[in-house]
Structure 1
Amino acid sequence: MNYENITCDKEQGVAQLTINRPKKLNALNRETLKEINDAIKILESDDEVKVIILTGSGEKAFVAGADIAEFADFSVEKGTELAQKGHQEVFDKIALLKKPVIAAINGFALGGGLELAMAAHFRIASDNAKMGLPETSLGVIPGYGGTQRLTQLVGRGRALEMIMTAGMINANQALQYGLVNHVVPQDELLVFANDLAQKITKNSLVAISYAIEAVNAFDDKKENGYKKEIENFGKSFGTNDFKEGTQAFLNKRKPSFPNS
């Protein structure tokens, strides 16, 4: 896969998708979003890829926000279309992906950058990371899921404070809030992310995809999360992974999941 604004590398079942615009602090523009969409489609259908790590290039930023120059003169209609397209093609696509996505936040994650990280299934951060949704300082609100996902992750009060003040929190505050799962030194971030990814690859990817679907149902007001859990629990019994997992347990050996 050859791209202008991202890179994508695969090793031992783990794909690392890196936003690669260091001179722009990896800011998201339309072309970058298109490339992310394209890469996610390819990785989703690649049977060799079991886990995706999402990160930014360099040591300063994960993604420092959106490229404001691209939408500074947008109309109401264009602004609405921008948000809707972003949801459908990138942010919701990542959140609903059946393969695990880990965001490795290696610096500033602001605006669309934090929204991108929040779309991942969970987040780890380097100790120099700073996170925030500064959109209200520009006279706009978060448009790529920030008002919803931040509220779900940190609670209504903290989410509203972050959005209203347009301020940043550091990595330790993000850990305290539950916005990230782990904080590690920057030079250990990708090693730590890969270690987590490798732990995930040892488990049933079919079961993991069912679990992601059930957890996402918790956030979907049209769907009953408990009902989805029961449904997917039952479906698990019809998989080859279940047969392998239970036989391995009963025979006191490590499982080798066929992922089917």
Structure 2
Amino acid sequence: MTVPDILVEHDGPVLTVTFNRPAQRNAMTWAMYDGLYSACERADADDEVRVLVLRGAGEDAFVAGTDITQFADFTSGADGVAYEERISRVLNRLEDVDVPTVAAIRGYCVGGGLAIAAVCDLRLATPDARFGIPVARTLGNCLSMPTYALLVHHLGPARALDLLLNARLYSGQEAHGAGFVAECTEDLDEALRQTVDRLLGHAPLTMWATKEAIRRLRRSTAAAVDGDDIVARVYGSEDFRAAVRAFNAKQPRTWTGR
């Protein structure tokens, strides 16, 4: 029997989404992004659901970005713009979920995985978790303007630049020190249990109001800024196409700036 790449399990007031490609470090396929969107719809449609939990299968990763094999068919900057818009649609839907959302993170939380975690309300992580978007040394692509705004919102301009320009990976402890992770612990399952129990005991409308107000404040700062020209230039570059080919062939890459 084929095991789904994304599992959605309902246990009383808790809906849990598990990214389930451990052999690929839970790298996201288009179908997994669609499955996450559907899970958000399900959380809001069911009055019994009070908390939405996201986690990765296995010990190695929460989500190690988007599956890079899916970029092989990109031929122009328009493909990159469409991709970033598709991802932003899913991220916005996750951020819009009415109930508290909690990301339980061990291992790699990079690229699209970092963006998914960033739009959750709370992030719990193990000390050896790894956070980053190292595209400056891997694919040579870029982020959408909403995702840049998301990183600056959580980390500030200086840390966002450090993370992206240096292609750094923060440990769970560093991410906790930066305020991105709410709790850093060796016992992730126990921390998740305690957090969920705490949220289930709080006033739902108060938590919704808090989420909604902070979401509106964050989005208002980036709503008028268009970055499609940036995305189109980078995704339409020979550097990006060559990097995708090199990555999939497990070969070194050379940057030209074109």
Distance in structure 1 (CA, Å) of the matches to 2:220 and 2:188 = 35
Amino acid at match of 1:123: R
Q: 1:52·1:101 contact (CA, 8 Å) conserved in 2?
A: yes
Distance in structure 2 (CA, Å) of the matches to 1:152 and 1:118 = 10
Q: 2:6·2:35 contact (CA, 8 Å) conserved in 1?
A: yes
Q: 1:104·1:124 contact (CA, 8 Å) conserved in 2?
A: yes
Q: 2:43·2:97 contact (CA, 8 Å) conserved in 1?
A: no
Residue 95 (structure 1) shift: 1.1
Post-superposition, which runs of at least 4 consecutive aligned residues in structure 1 deviate over 3 A? 143-146
Aligned to 2:22: 22
Q: 1:3·1:35 contact (CA, 8 Å) conserved in 2?
A: no
Aligned to 1:60: 60
Distance in structure 2 (CA, Å) of the matches to 1:3 and 1:99 = 28
Distance in structure 2 (CA, Å) of the matches to 1:146 and 1:127 = 25
Aligned to 1:128: 128
1:176 to 2:184 alignment: no
1:105-142 Cα shifts (integer Å, max 9, x gaps): 11100101111100101211012201111122211113
Aligned to 1:98: 98
1:142 to 2:154 alignment: no
Aligned to 1:202: 201
Q: 1:59·1:106 contact (CA, 8 Å) conserved in 2?
A: yes
Q: 1:86·1:144 contact (CA, 8 Å) conserved in 2?
A: no
Amino acid at match of 1:146: T
Query: Which protein has greater RCO, CA pairs closer than 8 Å, 6+ apart?
Result: 2
Residue 191 (structure 1) shift: 2.4
Residue 143 (structure 1) shift: 3.7
Residue 222 (structure 1) shift: 7.2
Residue 72 (structure 1) shift: 3.2
Matches within 5 A, 1:111-122: 111-122=111-122
Cα separation, partners in 2 of 1:49 and 1:144, compared to 1, 3 Å:
farther
Aligned to 1:164: 165
Aligned to 2:44: 44
Distance in structure 1 (CA, Å) of the matches to 2:9 and 2:57 = 13
Q: Secondary structure at the match of 2:28?
A: coil
1:220 to 2:219 alignment: yes
Cα separation, partners in 2 of 1:222 and 1:165, compared to 1, 3 Å:
closer
Distance in structure 2 (CA, Å) of the matches to 1:130 and 1:49 = 30
Residue 209 (structure 1) shift: 1.1
CA RMSD of aligned residues (A): 1.9
Amino acid at match of 2:50: K
Aligned to 2:88: 87
Q: 1:132·1:162 contact (CA, 8 Å) conserved in 2?
A: yes
Amino acid at match of 2:62: F
Residue 10 (structure 1) shift: 2.4
Residue 166 (structure 1) shift: 1.3
TM-score by length of 2: 0.80
Q: 2:105·2:126 contact (CA, 8 Å) conserved in 1?
A: yes
1:15-35 Cα shifts (integer Å, max 9, x gaps): 211100111100011111111
Structure 1: runs of 5+ lacking an equivalent: 224-260
1:39-77 Cα shifts (integer Å, max 9, x gaps): 211122111110011110001100011111101341211
Distance in structure 2 (CA, Å) of the matches to 1:45 and 1:144 = 30
Q: 1:14·1:194 contact (CA, 8 Å) conserved in 2?
A: no
1:154 to 2:155 alignment: yes
Q: Secondary structure at the match of 2:99?
A: coil
TM-score by length of 1: 0.79
Aligned to 1:9: 9
Q: 1:115·1:145 contact (CA, 8 Å) conserved in 2?
A: no
Amino acid at match of 2:205: V
Structure with larger Rg: 1
Aligned to 1:109: 109
Q: 2:19·2:57 contact (CA, 8 Å) conserved in 1?
A: yes
Count of residue correspondences = 219
